Amino acid sequence: MAEIAKIRKAFFKVSAVKALLPVLLLTISNVFMTFAWYGHLKYKSSPLWIAIIVSWLIAFAEYCFQVPANRIGHATFTVAQLKTMQEVITLVVFAAFSILYLREDFKWNYLVGFALIVLAVFFVFKKW
């Protein structure tokens, strides 16, 4: 009986890591991607070609986290679930980025729109 308890405990630790590691990697990748897509807006006086090259280099770093996140995550989640998680993570990262880095206002209608997207998570993850 003690052996079964040890195996069960080890299984749940591995399962938690398999579930949380993709979320962590997707979060890191989204921070990079948000900077690649929107970070240059703070430096509008810089030439466009420099913004493109810098954004492309940042995007490469993003892929170094995104590809493993999806590979590891697909062992636990469906592609639709991974995409849904990625979208919610993107919204959270983007909201923080736009407020903290770009100093833009976060309006109530943005919150409502984001909440409706988060509601989609229920339907994608629900076992029907």
Give the range of the structural domain holding residue 104, as residue numbers without chain letter: 2-125
- The pLDDT, as a whole number, for residue 125 is 84
The DSSP code for 1 is -
Domain count, the chain: 1
Helix runs in 1-128, H state only: 2-38, 48-73, 79-100, 108-125
For the cut 90, the answer to whether the pLDDT of residue 98 exceeds it is: yes
pLDDT in tens, 3-57: 766 665 665 566 777 889 999 999 999 999 999 999 999 999 999 999 999 999 9
Angle at 22 between CA 8 and CA 110, to 5 degrees: 125
pLDDT in tens, 56-69: 999 999 999 999 99
Q: How far apart are CA 40 and CA 103, in angstroms?
A: 14
pTM, rounded to two decimals: 0.78
CA of residue 86 relative to chain centroid, distance: 4
